[in-house]
Structure 1
């Protein structure tokens, strides 16, 4: 597991904890169009393909089947729960993920202007339970972790990690970090204008929409790898390292997660045939390879998935 620094000060303002806030909306329409295996990208009207969210998975387990209610509100704020005085804080998924968010954003705050010449715009991750309303529409936990370009937030129901471990056989705390780093890769794409460029291309050329989606997703994997290469050097606002170390076993957990969520692996696990025409996120091999490209180079400039073959 990643060796998080027990003495680090975590910035809880980077996460909005809306678990238990009653974000349900009932059943019916208004769900988030996202890529589904076996079909074109969701959100198409009259053949016009529009990607509204950028999800970690290329399928939806609960799209349009939204539920009301939710968990009880947390008894403590994240700032209280995840304070350095709590010696057990990193045993809790929410505090670990707060640390990952802090690290990822600390990296991009410096790396984006230094490597790609664009100032980084900080954003927040929203922890939700069961269902949530976003500027991209309504979603439930079945869509998995996702990024909404319209409001620039990352969304995750932390129980997804249980599914990642049990259903996809990809346990591990650094697998969690990879998931968040991938979604923040989409935020970087949004800041750079890459996401909007891809959406315009998809509208002009719906027949190539899935291939464009794959390139976008693989770039987010590569960006996640670039962060992982520098994660051990990221610091809190007081200059303390957020990680004591990132080990080879941590990187192996990220690669196992990347393999598990490849389009071919998901199709195989669901008992269907391998159908490359329906892929939207890339194969297991592609996802691992592009994460490795980012990790081994440590350079986001090496993450050009839009030139040549992927």
Structure 2
């Protein structure tokens, strides 16, 4: 996908400390954090229940959010490596795509902040480590990523190409859209009231974020290159719950799905790509 170079004035980017969990962070696990923990656990062989329990335990011991940042400029952070540059280019394009849609609908819009980190960091959702994969944190409206994840996406999951990486950022941005629309809060409330439906509701959230990722790309068809769609669909398939469970040597249990099957993720990403219409992304009806 032929994205133009980012405008430093149109993005918010910070760089966190590397390694360990410096300081503390409060708040609740956001929609990206909990479910990405499951993906990271399955991919890297960690027990999901243990990982989630650890994250929740860390949160109970912490207080106000205090993301670790440094004084580097957006230009410096985004130029640190090729993956960082791609992420910033995508963030710029995503901002330019979604902000006008919110303005047209007369809904308040805030840009998310992209947080680069290495090893571990803290966020408004608590402590995080690279094994969790990229995630979105609603309390601080942050997209968190250790760019080394992209090597794992390529080498361990077989999802190659720049569009596969853009899909990851666009998916997390989709969670930001959901948060701004108030959908995240509504789903969290429904999950608390109906625990038996918590996973099913989470799957709908994730599939909608997949669709929103496709919508972003679909609105920029002139920038899409041959093979981009295939790269995105391959990535979506690689991180489907059933595929991750099979690759981890586990039996496939649809009731424990948190993101949706490979087929579902591919279908909703493709719907967004083909329509370029956010109204086509209603996964709840």
Tell me how far 1:13 sits from its aligned partner. Answer: 4.4
Whole-angstrom distance in 1 between the partners of 2:21 and 2:9: 28
Q: Tell me what 2:65 maps to.
A: none
Whole-angstrom distance in 2 between the partners of 1:23 and 1:107: 35
The change in CA–CA distance for 1:191 and 1:32 in structure 2 (over 3 A counts) is: closer
Q: Does the 8 A contact of 2:39 with 2:239 survive in 1?
A: no
- Is the counterpart of residue 257 in structure 1 residue 253 in structure 2? no
Q: Tell me what 2:200 maps to.
A: 211
Q: Tell me what 1:16 maps to.
A: 14
1:118 to 70, 94, 107: 107
**TM-score scaled by structure 1?**
0.76
Whole-angstrom distance in 2 between the partners of 1:304 and 1:120: 20
Where 1:128 maps in the other structure, the secondary structure is: strand
- Segments of 5+ residues of structure 2 without an aligned counterpart are 59-68
Whole-angstrom distance in 1 between the partners of 2:251 and 2:263: 17
Whole-angstrom distance in 2 between the partners of 1:52 and 1:145: 8
2:167 to 172, 178, 181: 178
1:266 to 225, 229, 244: 244
Residues 143-172 of structure 1 deviation map (CA, whole Å, 9 limit, x = unaligned): 110011111111010000011111111011
The change in CA–CA distance for 1:54 and 1:109 in structure 2 (over 3 A counts) is: farther
Q: Does the 8 A contact of 1:219 with 1:303 survive in 2?
A: yes
1:99 to 89, 114, 118: 89
1:293 to 264, 271, 278: 271
The change in CA–CA distance for 1:56 and 1:228 in structure 2 (over 3 A counts) is: farther
Where 1:287 maps in the other structure, the secondary structure is: helix
**TM-score scaled by structure 2?**
0.82
Tell me how far 1:60 sits from its aligned partner. Answer: 3.6
Tell me how far 1:209 sits from its aligned partner. Answer: 0.6
The change in CA–CA distance for 1:305 and 1:54 in structure 2 (over 3 A counts) is: farther
The change in CA–CA distance for 1:75 and 1:118 in structure 2 (over 3 A counts) is: closer
- Structure 1 runs, 4 residues or longer, greater than 2 Å off: 2-6, 8-13, 22-26, 30-34, 51-66, 73-78, 111-114, 116-120
Q: Does the 8 A contact of 1:58 with 1:281 survive in 2?
A: no
Whole-angstrom distance in 2 between the partners of 1:18 and 1:232: 34
Provide the aligned length of Structure 1 versus Structure 2.
263
Residues 194-213 of structure 1 deviation map (CA, whole Å, 9 limit, x = unaligned): 00100111011000110000
Whole-angstrom distance in 2 between the partners of 1:140 and 1:80: 23
Residues 76-126 of structure 1 deviation map (CA, whole Å, 9 limit, x = unaligned): 7541475xxxxxx69711111111111111100112343x55232212110
2:39 to 48, 59, 75: 59
Tell me how far 1:24 sits from its aligned partner. Answer: 2.2
Where 1:118 maps in the other structure, the secondary structure is: coil
1:276 to 251, 254, 262: 254
Q: Does the 8 A contact of 2:8 with 2:74 survive in 1?
A: no
Q: What is the root-mean-square deviation of aligned Cα atoms in Å?
A: 3.1
1:151 to 136, 140, 146: 140
Structure with bigger helix share is: 2
Q: Does the 8 A contact of 1:52 with 1:136 survive in 2?
A: no
